[in-house]
Every structure is written in structure tokens, then in C-alpha cells.
Amino acid sequence: MAAPARAPSLDLYDNPLLVGADPTPALLAFELEADDLIRIYRRDAEAAVSETVRFSPFLLLADPDLLAGFKGDIEVTPLDGPGAFRWRARSPGWAEACRARDYCRERTGRGGGAPDAPFRFLNDPVHQYLLLTGRTSFLGLGFDALRRLALDIEVLTAEGFEFPNAARPSDRVIAISLADTAGFREVLRGDRLSEAALLEECSRLIRERDPDVIEGHNIFRFDLEYLEARARQHGATLAWGRRGEPLRGHPSRLQIAERTIGYRRYQVAGRHIVDTWILAQLYDLGARDLPSFGLKDIARHLGVAAPDRTYIDPADVPRLWAADPERLVRYALDDATETLAISDLLSPPYFAQAQLLPFDYQSAVLRGNATKIDALLLREYLRHRRAIPAPSAPAGIAGGHTAIYQQGVARPVLHVDVISLYPSIMLTRGIAPAADTLGAFAHLLRDLRDFRVAAKQLMRVAESDAERRHLGALQQTFKILINSFYGYLGFSPGHWNDFEAANRVTAEGRVVVTTIVDRLQALGATVVEIDTDGVYFVPPADARDPAGEARLLASLAAALPPGIQVELDGRYRAMLSYKMKNYVLLDDKGVLTIRGSGLRSRGLELFQRRIMEELFALLLAGRREEIAPLVSRWKADFAAHRVPARLFMKTETLQDSVDLYRVERARGLRNPSAAYELALGAGRPYQPGDQVSYYLTGRGTNVAVSDAAKLAVSWDPAAPDENTEYYQAKVDELWARFRPFVELDALRPWVEEVAVDADTPQQLSLF
């Protein structure tokens, strides 16, 4: 599995600021061993070999006297520059460093990560080693060179229970499916092996196949927890490490946008674990188009589901295991194969990040972008033996310029976008953290921008698919990091954060976008909406062909400051501007794009999203007369019980523990919640981040949701008991919500048929 050729004009790997000062190639993984050693795994031809090197961990100190009286072998040396942490304390081993950390904590009453602590200690030994040495993972390798193995389990739930529970002796693993990138496929079957033998054979195959990465969908929060619990019951060891080390895990939390997800983070010596369920959530932060985070829905959405893929209802597993185990085996193997395919699409940017960052591959997926930028700066300062600043105190930051000028349907619509607005402002205006005395922030941002441009250019002339994918992953990684630099300025734990600089960036951004709006209106365009760095507008009549668009873009560019560039980011047949940052676009190919939490909220039942999609498609296509019959059809389908439960069930994510909910309810501090009440009675150990799906029973629209809710898995199509009046009322609510837009469009059906005067913009507004 040879690595793709590296284009000679992309000198990424000669840049120590981006990839570290030590360009040792083909490093796969790192593990702390024997307190003062790091074991390094690397690719040697087709084999993975390892060696150990000495490791001397460190603490950062604001005052060397913090360690006065410490009985241990610690070497304290000064760092140059004005930063708060001006001394580095090196220890001969990890245990000694942890003792020094505890000593500082006892003397100061502060933890090593507290904002006002006069010392810093990084709890990840691999991160420390990579910071100190300037080494990174995978240099010289392409993503295709990674040996990846996907794992999926099927479990049997005892009769009378709706969810599996590994603590119940009657529940057990009945199948473990494995699929790797070399074409290996295997399903270990519980009808041929005891559960203990199943676990042992899984460990043997993992060691034999020797993957660099173990992948799974929701593997942290289900598969590995379940396997670990069952192995414990059998007294078995999940010896998955490269040298036979056991699987190990610890409680952790992951922040993805506004969601905090509790999970058990697992590690395997010499390997990485990547969860495609987490990758999908990270992907959806930008795309916002996944229908759900379920494996099958993601695979269908990304176009990697096989035409002959086996589908079964999870509730049907016990019956199939008894009556048709071969079908269940095919289903399990398809799950593992599909996981590999999803990872093929979503993992490469994080593989590329591991080539840059002082984190291992698994951590590159799980760490936040601002933390990654802080680590890049920290590595550079340590390389130059410079003092590290303390984070500045949090302060308010004014947001970017967003505005809605028109509400309703507009036709046709163009979208112009400022290319990397905030990064461009930071570079052209010289805005950087005041504490960055090395100038590393601006240097890093400029290099990332230049390398992204080079990678995109080289993609166009790449001679192989492997090289094209490699360059594509790099440019996507650069884009992610570049767009995170502004956010880093307002990152509270960031050592080089600067809230004043962040406000200067947004202020400049508002000026740029306002300039664009003023110029568009002067040219006769009707501005519909502004979204921070882009403007949607109805073009004037003389800008509705390629030549006119080019003239309009040139006129916009002439009005902007040097270094600020605009591009035409989209052409649309129609746009529904609903409210601020909530809109629907219909392109020339008939593809519908829905943006905004008010239109894409995951709190909506699937049938509501379906109705909205159908309604928007008809409205934007000018087929208003078909919308009222659409509403009537859905109401009739509910009355006749023709709507399957998966369309009307509601799925909620548990943000807190069930125990905390129980306590707060008992104290009257919380209203009843259907999801939590069902979780309490489900007999399953729910955790924060778990999801509960339910529907409502009974009659009438004024039902108490927490009383009428039933778990979705209990719905029986042969005896449907959903509350049809309740769901019909939800259909009516949707129609009432969007009916004014339909009626407004009937009054002003085609903006393009109306002359637009620059001094009197066409009024689409409902305001």
C-alpha cells in the first residue's frame, strides 16, 4: 500500500511551524511505557515495527519557587520572553511529573488547567512527547496506507426488555462482524461459539489482522462498552493491543457545537479508535444536511449504501436469530462494511490533521479546533524556548453582520461570498493576539492559507485518484483550521486568546459586508439576506447571464479594500427567505437546500420535515396550487394510519443523567420530560448523550406529552395506537406557519418580471 506521490511544489513537510521540527516519516502511534519511555510504532515496508525512546515530561511554571521543598529530581530552566509561564520544569519520568503537579496543586489550591493557576500540566503524555520533539504522525503516508478494521456487534436482548443491557446475564453478544481495508470479511457467530470464545476469537483476529485503526459506528458508547462488560463477566481480557495489551477506557466528555456528549473513551496500545458516529456529527456541523446520525441513514445520504444491503428492524433481532440467522449475519457484515465506506469519506481530513498536530490520530478527531491551534502555537513557543502567556480574561465579542432585508420568495437569486472573510481581515489588517511576541499566529494563518491554495491547484492536475484524495483532505483540513483562527481569539482557555482583537475582526467584517450591500443596491440589485460573510440578492436585469455576472463581480471587487476578494458562490432559481439565517434555496438542477435551525431542527418529527420539504419544493417551483392538497393528503394518511412510526416518532437527546433528572423532579426543580420518564422505566443504563425515541398515544390535541408517550419500538403496525388528532394538528400548524408565504407569492409571483429600481427595492417582505 504505497503512499501517493507528494507534489514537489507543495513544501508542506519542510515547514516546522506546520508539521513540527522532526520530519521522521511513517510514524503510526505512540504509547507511554515504563514511566520514562515512549514506544513508537512506525511503518517499515508492509510491517508495523516499534522501538522505545527516552521521555522527559514537563510542567510550565509562573514561579520556580512553586517547587521549593519538592523532594524529587526536577530540573527547572528559564524561558525567554514576557509570558506568564517563564520556567519549564523537566522530570525524569511520568510518575515524578505527576507528583510535581500534585505538589503544585496542593500549594496553590489550583488544578493544572485552572485559568488562574500559576502552573500548567498537560495530562496526555503522548501530547507532551509530540510537543517536545516536533514529531507528528503519518508523514509521507497517504490515507490509503492506513490499515483500518471496522467492528460491529449484534446482541440478544432478553424477552420482556426493550433495550440490551450487558449487566443482565441473559443478554449476550451473538455476532461480531469484522471488515478491513485489505478485503478481509468475517462474522463471528454466537450459534457456533460460546460468548467467551467469541470474545477470544475477536481478540485473536484483531491481533492477526494488525490494523492501525479500529473503526465502528457509535463504538465508544455501545460496542466497546458492551464488549468490555461481557468480557468482565467471563473473566476474559480483550487483548487488542499490538503487543497483546488489553483494551482500556475511562469516562470522558466531548463538546460538539452546543451538545455535550458523555462517553467512555477507549484506547488500544499501538492502534487508534475512530467512531464514525462522532465523525458524522463533526461533518454535520458544516453540512447541516444529515437526516440523522444512524449508520443506515448516513450511508444512504452519502451514497455508500450497497444496492443489495440487508436491512432489518432491530426489534426483530431475537426472532431472526432463531428463525433466519443467515440474514442477521449478512446484516451484521453489511454494518461493518458500511462503516468502512463512511470512514473513507469522513476520516481523511483528520488523518491530514494528524500529520500537522502534536496529537495522535485518535485525539485529532476528538479535540476541538481551538485546542488544536493552541497546541500548534505552544509547540512553536517551546521549540524557541519562549515563555508561554496566560489566557486573558473572557470579555464580550460583538457578532458579525447578519440581516434580513426581504421575507418571502425571490426569483432568481445569486449568492456572493467573501473568500475567508475573517482570516483575510486578520492578514490584511495585521490583527493578531497581542501576546504573540513570536508572530507565530499570523505566520501560521498565512502558511495555511497559501498551502490550501496550492493544494486546490494541485488537485486539478493530480495524476491519480489517491493523490487527488490526499490533496483534497489536506485542503479541507487547512480550510477547517483557517476558519477557526477567529474563534480561537475568543477561546477562553487559549494561551494566546485576545478578545479585543476578536472585536476588531468582526467590526472590520461588518464594514466589508455593508460595503457589498451598498454597492449591490447601487447597481440595482434587491438584497434579500446577509449572513456574516455572504449576501443573497436578486440581480438586476443586466446581470442575469455570465457576462453580466462577471461585470457585477468586478464592480463589487473594485469597491472592496485590497486583499478582500469576493466570488460568486451560487446561482438559484428561487429562494424562500423565512427569517434570519433560515432560508430555502432551489438551484437550476432542482436540488433543494434548507438552512437554519428553525427549518431543520432535529426536534421536528420526520413527517414534519417531509411536509416542509415537499411544500418548499412546490412553492419555489411555482406550483402553489398543489400545496393545499398536499396538506390534506397528509391529514388523511394519519386518519387512516398509513404513516409509519419512524415518521412521527420524536427523538430527544438526554443532556443530563437520569439520576439527576429524578432528583430535580423530586425537588420540583424540573418539569416532567417524556424522554426521561421513558428512560427511567426502560431498564437500560442511559447516559448523557443517549437518545430516546417515542410517540404519543391517546385522543385529542391537549394531551400531556409525558403521560401519553410510548417508546417508538413498541409501536405495532397491526394495532396502531398513535394519537391521530394530535399529529393532524401538527400538520395544520405547519400549514398555518407557511401559508402566508404561499399567499404572498401568489400576490408577487415573479420578481424577475418586475422592474427593480435601485432607489425603490422590490418589496417581498411580510414585515
Q: Which of 36-40, 202-206, 528-532 has the lowest mean pLDDT?
A: 528-532
pLDDT at 217: 97
pLDDT category, 475, cuts 50, 70, 90? confident
Average pLDDT over residues 607-635: 94
Q: Domain total for the chain?
A: 3
Looking at the predicted structure, is the pLDDT value of residue 2 above 70? Answer: no
For residue 707, is it within any domain? yes
Interhelix angle for 465-482 vs 369-383, to 10°?
Answer: 90
C-alpha cell at 584: 430555502
pLDDT at 433: 97
Q: Tell me which residue range forms the domain holding 113.
A: 25-133
Chosen domain end from 114, 133, 152 = 133
pLDDT at 163: 67
Average pLDDT over residues 318-345: 94
For residue 561, is it within any domain? no
Residues 691 and 606 in one domain: yes
Interhelix angle for 325-346 vs 295-302, to 10°?
Answer: 60
pLDDT at 689: 63
pLDDT at 367: 95
For residue 4, is it within any domain? no
Looking at the predicted structure, is the pLDDT value of residue 749 above 70? Answer: no
pLDDT category, 238, cuts 50, 70, 90? very high
pLDDT at 261: 84
How far apart are alpha carbons 126 and 122 in whole angstroms? 10
Peptide bond before 412: cis, by omega within 30 degrees of 0?
A: yes
**What are the pLDDT digits (tens) for 75-87?**
999 999 999 999 9
Q: Which of 60-64, 118-122, 441-445, 679-683 has the lowest mean pLDDT?
A: 679-683
Average pLDDT over residues 226-244: 96
C-alpha cell at 69: 521543598
Residues 181 and 65 in one domain: no
Average pLDDT over residues 503-530: 94
Q: Which of 61-65, 98-102, 598-602, 733-737 has the lowest mean pLDDT?
A: 598-602
pLDDT at 497: 97
pLDDT at 13: 75
pLDDT category, 655, cuts 50, 70, 90? confident
pLDDT at 161: 61
Task: Kindly state the percentage of the chain with pLDDT values over 70.
Answer: 94
How far apart are alpha carbons 246 and 405 in whole angstroms? 60
Residues 106 and 193 in one domain: no
Residues 247 and 106 in one domain: no
**What are the pLDDT digits (tens) for 575-619?**
999 988 899 999 998 989 888 888 877 678 889 999 999 999 999
Residues 119 and 147 in one domain: no
Residues 125 and 147 in one domain: no
- Helices H / strands E in the chain, number of each: 26, 26
Q: Which of 384-393, 491-500, 535-544, 650-659 has the lowest mean pLDDT?
A: 650-659
Looking at the predicted structure, is the pLDDT value of residue 53 above 70? Answer: yes
How far apart are alpha carbons 232 and 545 in whole angstroms? 68
For residue 720, is it within any domain? yes
Task: Kindly state the percentage of the chain with pLDDT values over 90.
Answer: 70
Across the chain, mean pLDDT equals: 90
CB 183 within 8 A of CB 148: no
How far apart are alpha carbons 213 and 434 in whole angstroms? 40
SS3 336: helix
More confident residue, 276 or 171: 276
pLDDT at 287: 66
Q: Which of 194-208, 394-408, 717-731, 732-746 has the lowest mean pLDDT?
A: 394-408
**Which long-range contacts (C-beta less than 8 Å, at least 24 apart) are formed by 392-395?**
392/435, 392/497, 392/498, 392/499, 393/115, 394/490, 394/492, 394/499, 395/499, 395/500
Looking at the predicted structure, is the pLDDT value of residue 468 above 90? Answer: no
For residue 545, is it within any domain? no
pLDDT at 157: 81
**What are the pLDDT digits (tens) for 374-413?**
999 999 999 999 999 999 998 888 877 788 998 999 999 9
Residue type, position 684, single letter: R
Looking at the predicted structure, is the pLDDT value of residue 8 above 60? Answer: no
Residues 310 and 200 in one domain: yes
CATH number of the domain bearing residue 707: 1.10.132.60
Q: Which stretches within 290-435 are classed as H helix?
A: 295-302, 317-323, 325-346, 348-354, 361-366, 369-383, 421-429
**What are the pLDDT digits (tens) for 560-574?**
999 899 999 889 999
How far apart are alpha carbons 421 and 506 in whole angstroms? 10
Residues 161 and 231 in one domain: yes
Looking at the predicted structure, is the pLDDT value of residue 683 above 70? Answer: no
pLDDT category, 355, cuts 50, 70, 90? very high
More confident residue, 605 or 690: 605
For residue 364, is it within any domain? no
**What are the pLDDT digits (tens) for 102-129?**
999 999 998 878 888 999 999 999 999 9
Chosen domain end from 347, 378, 402 = 347
How far apart are alpha carbons 97 and 76 in whole angstroms? 12
Count of alpha carbons within 13 angstroms of residue 214, beta-carbon side: 28
* Residue 400 C-alpha from the chain's centroid: 23
For residue 380, is it within any domain? no
Chosen domain end from 133, 156, 185 = 133
CATH number of the domain bearing residue 217: 3.30.420.10
Residues 79 and 171 in one domain: no
Q: For the chain, what is the largest distance between any 2 Cα atoms, rounded to a whole number of angstroms?
A: 84
pLDDT at 388: 97
* Residue 715 C-alpha from the chain's centroid: 32
Residues 166 and 310 in one domain: yes
Residues 323 and 198 in one domain: yes
For residue 485, is it within any domain? no
Residues 210 and 337 in one domain: yes
pLDDT at 316: 84
More confident residue, 165 or 104: 104
